[in-house]
Structure 1
Amino acid sequence: MKRKLSWLLTLGLVLSMFLAACSGGGDDAEQPADEGKDQAAEENVEQVFNLLNGDTIPSMDPSMATDEYGFQFLGATMEGLYRLDANAEPAEGIAKTHSVSEDGLTWTFELREDAKWENGDPVTAHDFVYAWQRAVNPDTGSEYGPYMMGGVIKNATQVNTGEAALEDLGVKADGDYKLVVELENPTPYFHSLTTFGTFLPLNQKFVESQGDNFATSTETLLANGPFKLENWTSTASQWNLVKNETYWDAATVELEKMTYQVSKDPTTAVRLYEEGTVDRVGLSSDLVDQYSTHDDYVITPETSVFYLKFNQTRNEALANVNIRSAIARAFNKQDLVDEILNNGSIVADGLVPADFVNIPGTENDFRETSGALSAHNVEEAQAFWEKGLEELGTDSVEIEFLGGDTETSKVMNEYLANQLQTNLPGLKVTLKQVPFEQRLDLDTAMDYDIQFAGWGPDYLDPYTFLSLWITDGGNNKMGYSNAKYDELLNESATTLARDNDARYENFLEAEKILFEDAAIAPIYQRAMAQLVAPKVEGVFVNPFGATYEYKWSKAVSVE
């Protein structure tokens, strides 16, 4: 979900909005005749986007969502205290204003009184209390609740482990329209955190009335955001987002509808774009060269990082640091981004992405400062491999490689498997390629050896990446543990919470430990190569959280 990037697409869209705002003005009689025609034409443009999605939506339950697709559609249909604007700054949502105590531990949010749920119920502070308690309630089984709130909201960890009652969670309603949040420690990024999907409110009466069926279909969802889902079930391959007329700021929302269909084949997707059936499509590497001179071609950098996860509990070989170190260095990442992706993605030799955050008080990028910690080097890989095999007392290793089942994923999985088997004698790789939702389930169950995975930041701070690998963390799911690493991350969130310089020193040291341990093998930092129809205006690409923001978007005339 994150960064200070030169967002090409976002910048273009922001500029187009700026120019539109600065043109015209005055009485109609003073406007040039052509301008009046343009405005009339735009009024007649059907406010519909036709879009594709890479897979089904695994979950629309804010407490249970863990993936890009879930958070994307939660962000469109629901609203929390704040939502991200064009500049990736928190803009008014259900909260109008907030204040922070001098010690940084108490945040008080003043809520608007005109926000309603789709069924007409008011959105109140009680809805936030219920949702946040539900997210950390051990009976719920949420992964993101404990991960996002633990160490941040007072007593969240204790509630989740059963050591404290739900009522002890540091969130209280002071009447219907004032929310008081107590933090465990001062949290520099808490304002941006309130925009994230796990912190969305829930209507308790509605959720409990749906029981186990909650968030499994259109009929069992309740929107309070700019749009609502139509014709959706948890297994649907087609669905719509339609304007939510009960949204408190519905007057700002110009889009009436977005249609979605699942497409995993890039060639099919491009054909749909050329036919005019869809308005935006991602390009696979084999299509980039063909369309790179197209008028609609756009590259958008991201701060999502992809890597191999090593499950140290399922396969004895992967519990060996030398075997992991060998695998991490044995594949050519530059060829992968140049030939297989070919979409502007860049090689990743660390975890925290480039152009994400600077070292405090400087203009030095964190990634540049930390350096390349896990670079491709076949000679080093083979030296680690030989040492690891000797320690294991064997001359061969078999591993299962878990990856996605899209066309691009399959090509990438096969490339990585081939590179590993070619450069590490005695290694046999078996591919297991499954749909996205199944991969998430296998990850949760730790039912894999090596997994192709990725992470997009949830807020603007290195902690969103580095906290993934804390011992027994909700997203660790690979048995990695290092006491010094845990200590550095714990200090950054507690005793050093108000000392940003010291926090970043800890982050730099922790990242080095992560790669000395070869806990993961970074591959690339993603960019998107897309064709975007000229009619699509005002879609913001968020630096964290939901990938796209559509509240301020519209379809414009291209005549």
Structure 2
Amino acid sequence: MKKTNWLLLVLALVLSMFLAACSGGSDDTSNSTDDADTEETDSGDSSSEEEAATGDSEQVLNLLDTAEIPTMDASLATDAVAFQWLGSTTDGLYRLGEGAETEPGIATDHEVSEDALTWTFNLREDAVWSNGDPVTAHDFVYAWQRAVDPDTGSEYGPYMMNGVIKNAEAVNAGDVPVEELGVTAEDDYTLVVELEKPVPYFESLTTFGTFLPLNQSFVEEQGDQYALEADTLLSNGPFVITEWNHGEGWTLEKNEDYWDAENVKLEQINVRVVKETATGVNLYDTGEVDRVNLSAEFVDQYSTSDEYRIIEEPTLFYVKMNQENEILSNVNARKAIQMVIDRQGITNTILNNGSIPSGGHMPKNFVQHPESGEDFRELNGDLVQTDVEKAKELWATAKEELGIEEAELGYLGGDSEVAQNMDAFIKDQLEQLEGLTVNVESVPFQVRLDRDTAMDYDLQNSGWGPDYIDPNTFMNMYVTDGANNKTGFSSEEYDSLIQKAGDELALEPAERFDAFLEAEKILIEEEAVLAPLYQRARAQLLKPYVKGVVVNPMGPDYNYKHAYIEGK
């Protein structure tokens, strides 16, 4: 790519500063997200070992998931399950490779204008869809326009593109036609993107699922059935979904027409939906699956195994509080809920998998201050501490302010075994507040997503993983009426800080970082919008013959493009 002047050098410097926290180390014992970017197996895997993978081993990977894929429509996807398999079957402009570095996808390279507002991507001419159609710049234009078209009803299109792609907000509001979105095909293999402002992390954004291309004629031919079945999907990536049994599992096969097929070793990936950990462990022990996540009761049993590993992630879980509820509109009630929960008990007793208590809304070891190099989480510290007595005092104050003696709140949680155990624990914690009754509803993942969108909840166990490597991915969620806010929270001061970080401070990395630090204090410490719970890690068993899987800090949890089976 070409960087032609001092402004672009500043942009590159800003991005490198944010990437520094998530690239590099391969030591699985390091307390950082760096180890989440190393290969799924021993760091000693080499290209020569990869080449040896074509021996007698059957190149089939067998996996588990705890939830059905809600959709394979890139414009409508909002969750980790969908983005995982979109990333496995579709190439965008770039892909996320080892060390969270971007690597070529459909784009071979790009140039950036002197004012950093125009990005020109040069596309490869050997990429095709699984129906034989060429992948062109027009596929990106159509997909990005569709994602912000108000008729589509996408959540992530406006969330990811408004204020980033020129005219995205006006298009989504219905004020201008979609053709005025700042993305055009100069020719079949040249894509031109105009930005609203300099965006330090834009290259990272292009790896995310919302920015994947779509074949317009195929999508329109399928109509409302698009991306709901294996035969109403197209792929241009390493794998193709060939079978999709809803609620049971799905099968991916190597895409022989993929532009980089010679470097894809796996012939097939089989995924089975299993919600119970014990069932998954049994399938692993009998050799039917190659990886399983462990819940607390299995960690001690397997922690001495050579196949045991912990994967740390920059993913946060927390209790969302709907401020449209009269009780939760009271800040003292929200602070009481924050303080009464024993986070250490959750990570030690319920999870027991390497997850750590969270005291804010930015993960540890995710981004560092561009001048001091200090970690964001260390700089702001724990903005919430467990203090049951203080929580009870705040709750008493809240009841007095609300004029109530008793309160009843619904709690929306997941239906997996681990989720139900955790939610029962949190219910007990919350009911230490005198007069509070918590009614837990355990629902499937898709139902929880739908009810979150509709704000049909009081309390909700929720989680967020980064969409790109920058503090903004966590902090801009809670601007007034933000697509992923869904709490009723609104603060002019908070909105102003996030806006400044995105506009006038875009090329002032230190000041921009400081604005995010202040915004987090408002969100968690002052307004108690969320009750932080924990930063996720996964305790897993992984078969030693599985090689070359990369764990990503954003987007798809895993990259299977270079995975292979050796010595099975």
Give the whole-Å Cα distance in 2 for the aligned partners of 1:42 and 1:133: 42
Give the whole-Å Cα distance in 1 for the aligned partners of 2:286 and 2:420: 26
- Name the counterpart of 2:516: 507
Number of residues of Structure 1 aligned to a counterpart in Structure 2: 539
Residues 338 and 384 of structure 2 are in contact (CA less than 8 Å); yes or no, is this contact kept in structure 1? yes
Give the whole-Å Cα distance in 2 for the aligned partners of 1:258 and 1:343: 26
Residues 131 and 202 of structure 1 are in contact (CA less than 8 Å); yes or no, is this contact kept in structure 2? yes
Given candidates 57, 67, 71, the residue that maps to 1:45 is: 57
- Name the counterpart of 2:281: 270
- Give the 4+ runs in structure 1 shifted more than 2 A: 5-24
Residues 37 and 553 of structure 2 are in contact (CA less than 8 Å); yes or no, is this contact kept in structure 1? no
CA offset digits 1:195-224 (Å, max 9, x no partner): 000000000000000000000001100000
- Name the counterpart of 2:417: 407
Amino acid aligned to 1:542: N
> Equivalent residue of 1:73, what SS?
helix
Q: Is 1:217 matched up with 2:229?
A: yes
Give the whole-Å Cα distance in 2 for the aligned partners of 1:16 and 1:349: 32
> Equivalent residue of 1:334, what SS?
helix
Residues 8 and 299 of structure 1 are in contact (CA less than 8 Å); yes or no, is this contact kept in structure 2? no
- Name the counterpart of 2:15: none
Shift of 1:246: 1.1
- Name the counterpart of 1:175: 187
Change in Cα spacing, 1:95 to 1:52, as seen in structure 2 (3 Å) is same
- Name the counterpart of 2:319: 308
- Name the counterpart of 1:519: 529
CA offset digits 1:397-447 (Å, max 9, x no partner): 11000000111100100000001102x111000001101011001101110
Give the whole-Å Cα distance in 2 for the aligned partners of 1:548 and 1:431: 32
- Name the counterpart of 2:485: 476
Give the whole-Å Cα distance in 1 for the aligned partners of 2:171 and 2:208: 21
Given candidates 493, 499, 504, the residue that maps to 1:490 is: 499
Shift of 1:103: 1.3
- Name the counterpart of 1:437: 446
Change in Cα spacing, 1:167 to 1:9, as seen in structure 2 (3 Å) is closer
Normalising to structure 2: TM-score of the pair? 0.93
Give the whole-Å Cα distance in 1 for the aligned partners of 2:519 and 2:459: 22
Given candidates 240, 245, 249, the residue that maps to 2:256 is: 245
Gaps of 5+ in 2: 1-18, 23-31
Normalising to structure 1: TM-score of the pair? 0.94
Give the whole-Å Cα distance in 1 for the aligned partners of 2:33 and 2:169: 37
Give the whole-Å Cα distance in 2 for the aligned partners of 1:540 and 1:13: 5
- Name the counterpart of 2:304: 293
Give the whole-Å Cα distance in 1 for the aligned partners of 2:236 and 2:276: 33
> Equivalent residue of 2:244, what SS?
coil
Shift of 1:529: 0.2
RMSD of aligned C-alpha atoms? 1.5
Give the whole-Å Cα distance in 1 for the aligned partners of 2:497 and 2:80: 28
Residues 17 and 538 of structure 1 are in contact (CA less than 8 Å); yes or no, is this contact kept in structure 2? no
- Name the counterpart of 1:54: 66
Q: Is 1:21 matched up with 2:48?
A: yes
Given candidates 207, 212, 219, the residue that maps to 1:195 is: 207
Gaps of 5+ in 1: 25-38
Tell me the percent identity: 53
Give the whole-Å Cα distance in 1 for the aligned partners of 2:434 and 2:54: 63
> Equivalent residue of 2:539, what SS?
strand
> Equivalent residue of 1:429, what SS?
strand
Give the whole-Å Cα distance in 1 for the aligned partners of 2:285 and 2:100: 32
Question: Which stretch shifts more, 341-350 or 82-91?
Answer: 82-91
Shift of 1:291: 0.4
Given candidates 128, 139, 145, the residue that maps to 1:133 is: 145
Give the whole-Å Cα distance in 2 for the aligned partners of 1:119 and 1:457: 32
> Equivalent residue of 1:247, what SS?
coil
CA offset digits 1:145-186 (Å, max 9, x no partner): 000001110111110011111011110110000000011110
Q: Which residues of 2 match residues 373-392 of structure 1 at below 5 A? A: 373-392=383-402
- Name the counterpart of 1:261: 272
Change in Cα spacing, 1:19 to 1:230, as seen in structure 2 (3 Å) is closer
Give the whole-Å Cα distance in 2 for the aligned partners of 1:506 and 1:8: 28
- Name the counterpart of 1:370: 380
Amino acid aligned to 1:369: L
Give the whole-Å Cα distance in 2 for the aligned partners of 1:171 and 1:71: 23
Shift of 1:377: 1.1
> Equivalent residue of 2:98, what SS?
coil
Residues 55 and 237 of structure 1 are in contact (CA less than 8 Å); yes or no, is this contact kept in structure 2? no
CA offset digits 1:474-496 (Å, max 9, x no partner): 11111111111001101111111
Amino acid aligned to 1:11: T
Give the whole-Å Cα distance in 2 for the aligned partners of 1:76 and 1:547: 10
Q: Is 1:536 matched up with 2:536?
A: no
Residues 136 and 188 of structure 2 are in contact (CA less than 8 Å); yes or no, is this contact kept in structure 1? yes
- Name the counterpart of 2:77: 65
CA offset digits 1:491-510 (Å, max 9, x no partner): 11111111111111110110
> Equivalent residue of 1:87, what SS?
helix
CA offset digits 1:246-268 (Å, max 9, x no partner): 11111110000010110000001
Amino acid aligned to 1:362: S
Give the whole-Å Cα distance in 2 for the aligned partners of 1:12 and 1:245: 24
> Equivalent residue of 2:463, what SS?
strand
Give the whole-Å Cα distance in 2 for the aligned partners of 1:16 and 1:306: 29
Given candidates 347, 351, 362, the residue that maps to 1:352 is: 362
Give the whole-Å Cα distance in 1 for the aligned partners of 2:442 and 2:464: 19
> Equivalent residue of 1:187, what SS?
coil
Change in Cα spacing, 1:236 to 1:426, as seen in structure 2 (3 Å) is closer
Shift of 1:236: 3.8
Given candidates 535, 547, 552, the residue that maps to 2:562 is: 552
> Equivalent residue of 1:273, what SS?
helix
Give the whole-Å Cα distance in 2 for the aligned partners of 1:327 and 1:9: 32
Change in Cα spacing, 1:374 to 1:292, as seen in structure 2 (3 Å) is same
> Equivalent residue of 1:174, what SS?
strand
Residues 226 and 250 of structure 1 are in contact (CA less than 8 Å); yes or no, is this contact kept in structure 2? yes
- Name the counterpart of 1:465: 474
Amino acid aligned to 2:71: S
Change in Cα spacing, 1:244 to 1:108, as seen in structure 2 (3 Å) is same
Amino acid aligned to 1:142: S
Amino acid aligned to 1:451: Q
Amino acid aligned to 2:304: T
Amino acid aligned to 2:48: A
Shift of 1:16: 4.2
> Equivalent residue of 2:510, what SS?
helix
Amino acid aligned to 2:431: Q
Change in Cα spacing, 1:230 to 1:350, as seen in structure 2 (3 Å) is same
Give the whole-Å Cα distance in 2 for the aligned partners of 1:161 and 1:232: 35
> Equivalent residue of 1:116, what SS?
coil
Amino acid aligned to 1:373: L
- Name the counterpart of 1:35: none
